[in-house]
Structure 1
Amino acid sequence: MIPDHDEHGLLPPGIHDASPAEIERRFCWTPRRAELLNGLQRLLAEWWIPQNLQGAVLVDGSFVRRKPDPEDIDAVFDLAPHAPLEQAVIFMLRCQIERAALKANYHVDVWPRHPALPNDLAAFFQYVGDKAAAELQLARTHPKGILRIVP
């Protein structure tokens, strides 16, 4: 179950498991939000699943806030429990090379996660960051929650 937003419009700190249907019920209250979720679902079906990489997808960005019209969805593809290092590096390079096209086609900003790769983006995205901090008048290190989908 997805917890309620706090007084800042953020999910409570932590990683919250959710099905695509739950995300649709909770986060698609505007046409733009429905369009973004549709883009994520197409990305999973057309790009992620055909790569035969298993793992959870962490969903973040203003989409998981109460912001009415988010720009995009941030998605971290968690290879940690499944992929060997070589496969993770190839996936990381693919994310970097294809990032602009994926964002244009699906409205999703893609990021890889693996213990051997630099920067744990699952941890990074559990803080509001500069842009949201400015919008919400919070410290950039203010904790927040993200969603986890297992496709």
Structure 2
Amino acid sequence: MIPDHIDFPGSPWPVLPPGIHVATLAEVELRFASNPKRRVQFKGLVAALTGLRGAGCRRAFLDGSFVTAKPHPGDFDACWDPTGVDGALLDPVLLTFDNNRAAQKVKYQGELFPSAIPADRAGTIFIEFFQVDRFTGARKGIVAIDLSADPMLQPTVTS
């Protein structure tokens, strides 16, 4: 379940309370895909997570202004657990970080990073980096999605 946003003095928009909040993609859609721009971003997120699941990824974490109360976020930010991921099955765009991740933004409407790589010069890995509000330095929340069990990502059988 995704908790209500909280206000942080110094942060421009309310954010999720500290912690990793487990949710399904249906819950993410209901909560955050609230206008046309956010729906396009959500569709890109689902496409990226579908590809990650196909490569063996079991969990991803959603962050950025997409999970804040900002009315029109520029994109979403996410990181994914590389454990068990088959690089041969991974979309190369998900490992293309040059030009400010332009290829990812074009294809998926957001930016995605392996969760265990450094996000800053201090060596903070993305899963930790995403849990710090960039405006205040305070702890904030992110959303975890279980890719292996999410109904939106389950393959459909046709006869």
Could you state the TM-score of these two structures normalised by the residue count of structure 2? Answer: 0.73
Q: What's 1:73 paired with?
A: 76
Unaligned runs of 5+ in 1: 134-138
Q: What's 1:22 paired with?
A: 27
Out of 39, 48, 58, the position equivalent to 2:44 is 39
Q: What's 1:56 paired with?
A: 59
Higher helix share: 1
Out of 121, 140, 143, the position equivalent to 1:144 is 140
- Report the more deviating stretch, 95-104 or 56-65: 95-104
For the aligned residue pairs, the C-alpha RMSD in angstroms reads 2.5
Q: What's 2:96 paired with?
A: 96
Q: What's 1:136 paired with?
A: none
Q: Secondary structure at the match of 2:96?
A: helix
Unaligned runs of 5+ in 2: 9-13, 119-123, 148-159
Structure 2 CA distance, aligned partners of 1:111 and 1:29? Answer: 25
Could you state the TM-score of these two structures normalised by the residue count of structure 1? Answer: 0.77
Number of residue equivalences: 133
Shift of 1:92: 9.7
Q: Secondary structure at the match of 2:138?
A: coil
Q: What's 1:110 paired with?
A: 112
Runs of 4+ more than 6 Å apart: 90-93
For 1:144, the aligned partner's letter is: K
Q: What's 2:156 paired with?
A: none
Q: What's 1:3 paired with?
A: 3
Identify if the C-alpha distance between structure 1 residues 27 and 128 changes in structure 2 by more than 3 Å, giving closer, same or farther.
Answer: same
- Report the more deviating stretch, 65-74 or 91-100: 91-100
Tell me if structure 1 keeps the 8 A contact 2:94–2:112: no
Shift of 1:22: 0.4
For 2:34, the aligned partner's letter is: W
Identify if the C-alpha distance between structure 1 residues 68 and 92 changes in structure 2 by more than 3 Å, giving closer, same or farther.
Answer: same
